[in-house]
Amino acid sequence: MSMLTLVVPGSGNDFADLGVGYLGELDLPFQAVGAYLLGGRNGTQLKDQSGSGRDLTVVGAPTITGNYATCTQANCFAMPLSGDQLSALSASGFTFAAVARSASTASSMAVSNFAGTARSSSLGLLTDGEASMINQPNGTTSKLATAAARGSRFSLYVGTQTPTAEKVFARRSGSSLESAATSHASGAIGGVNAIRIGGHYVTTSILDPIDIAFAAAFPFTFAAADADALYASLNAYFTGIGMPF
């Protein structure tokens, strides 16, 4: 990863959201169909960092601060890509990833097209697990047991899904977790709704806020080594802008 150091006398706070004078280069180890840095100003958090041209649109009014955005169910971002379109890119499955945090008592969605009874998939942080990958309406959920207090620390959460099962990984400094694979009966893992970052389509549940610094979707499934490589790349970037995790 290369790093450009900016020294701009008299610039005030113009570059504060980029991390104490550093403009880092995000260098992902894999090609994503959409990848997003959700902090910053002037619409920079909407830009697709993967080079695929799938810029986000704003839903409602998410709160954008230094290096992350705070989202809720109806105040989030939307990719110009549905679950069906993502599924069509790879017959083997797909992966959602997010650098995120939420309170230990919170239930929040990180990357999702969750719509209750509609066919959908979600990577969420729920009260009964550190992270969950949910396949709906099959009702199957692959969960990581809570291993450390949530709230103040960001972690990389990765949910990967095939036509028959899902699995979750979590990575942060000093912690490497992997759930068991959870089987589901149906191969229908897409859905017609656009994939949302930090939100979903149900107004009656999973409504707590979530802080998200990075989110992405990949058109293939992840193994543990892939989660490790993505964490190394993202932690190098966020360390450079003053937010190691």
Q: What does pLDDT average to over the chain? A: 84
pLDDT band for position 224 (cuts 50, 70, 90): very high
**Beta strand segments in the chain, E:** 3-5, 22-24, 34-37, 57-59, 63-64, 69-71, 76-82, 94-101, 108-112, 120-126, 129-136, 140-144, 155-161, 165-172, 175-178, 182-183, 194-197, 210-218
3-state secondary structure of 157: strand
92 part of a folded domain: yes
pLDDT band for position 190 (cuts 50, 70, 90): confident
- Taking residues 188-208, report their average pLDDT: 89
- Residue 131's pLDDT is 83
- Residue 146's pLDDT is 54
244 part of a folded domain: no
19 part of a folded domain: no
- Between the two ends of the chain, the Cα-to-Cα distance in Å is 17
Residue-wise pLDDT for 59-78, tens only, equals 999 999 889 999 999 999 99
In this predicted structure, the answer to whether residue 35 has a pLDDT above a threshold of 70 is yes
- Residue 21's pLDDT is 42
- Residue 186's pLDDT is 67
Closest CA to 35 of 195, 143, 167: 195
Residue-wise pLDDT for 149-165, tens only, equals 566 789 999 999 988 88
Structural domain of 151: 29-234
41 part of a folded domain: yes
151 part of a folded domain: yes
Indicate the number of domains in the chain.
Answer: 1
11 part of a folded domain: no
139 part of a folded domain: yes
- Residue 134's pLDDT is 81
What CATH number is associated with residue 85?
2.60.120.200
Which segment of 126-130, 169-173, 197-201 scores lowest on mean pLDDT?
Answer: 126-130
Find all residues with CB under 8 Å of 183, minimum gap 6, and list them.
Answer: 140, 164, 165
Find all residues with CB under 8 Å of 50, minimum gap 6, and list them.
Answer: 28, 31, 32, 33, 34, 35, 216
Residue-wise pLDDT for 98-128, tens only, equals 999 998 788 899 999 988 767 788 998 887 7
223 part of a folded domain: yes
